[in-house]
Amino acid sequence: MKKKTHPVYQDVLFVDSSTGFKFVCGSTLQPKEKEKFEGKEYPIYKLSVSSASHPFFTKSNEFIDTEGRIEKFANKYAQKRKQELAAKEVEKKAAVEKKTKAKKTTKKAVKKK
């Protein structure tokens, strides 16, 4: 194996930020922060979701969203929906105006005869 081409493989302490669950796993991540765990110092990497907080593994119906992703997604598509409804409303108004203009022109044509 060539030297200095592969990243350093080391034990890293992963911490679930929503539950505080900690576990050690081998990784090539190079975090700068360090913390003691079970008497040994490890580089620490913070996770937003792990098996301790994910609904699939916890068998719960709730999803704990610490970073606001769900709200961000809902807001994004709520705004799109509002824009679509506003565009449809403008189209309806334009169609109504077109019909009223058509009625006025036919009434003028009938009066001239």
Question: How does pLDDT run across 18-34, given as a tens digit for each residue?
Answer: 888 899 999 998 989 99
Inside any domain, residue 3:
no
What per-residue confidence (pLDDT) applies to 22?
Answer: 92
Q: Does residue 58 sit in the same domain as residue 13?
A: yes
Q: Does residue 35 sit in the same domain as residue 56?
A: yes
Q: Does residue 111 sit in the same domain as residue 92?
A: yes
| pTM listed for this prediction | 0.49
Q: Does residue 73 sit in the same domain as residue 56?
A: no
Q: Does residue 62 sit in the same domain as residue 72?
A: no
What per-residue confidence (pLDDT) applies to 69?
Answer: 73
Q: Does residue 82 sit in the same domain as residue 92?
A: yes
Q: Does residue 19 sit in the same domain as residue 63?
A: yes
What per-residue confidence (pLDDT) applies to 41?
Answer: 93
CB 31 within 8 A of CB 45: yes
Q: How many CB atoms lie within 10 A of CB 104?
A: 10
Q: What is the pLDDT of residues 47-76, one digit of tens each?
A: 878 877 776 666 676 666 656 777 777 888
Task: Please state, for a pLDDT cut of 70, what percent of the chain lies above it.
Answer: 77
Q: Where are the alpha helices (DSSP H) in the chain?
A: 55-58, 69-112
What per-residue confidence (pLDDT) applies to 4?
Answer: 82
Q: Is a pLDDT exceeding 60 seen at residue 113?
A: no
List, in order, residues 6 or more apart from 22 with CB less than 8 Å away. Answer: 13, 14, 15, 16, 37
Number of domains in the chain: 2
What's the pLDDT band for 112 if we cut at 50, 70, 90? low
Q: How many CB atoms lie within 10 A of CB 74?
A: 10
Q: Is a pLDDT exceeding 60 seen at residue 96?
A: yes
- Between CA 97 and CA 91 the distance in angstroms is 10
Inside any domain, residue 29:
yes
User: HEC string of 4-28?
Assistant: CCCCCCEEEEEEECCCCCEEEEEEC
Q: Domain range for residue 55?
A: 9-67
Inside any domain, residue 44:
yes
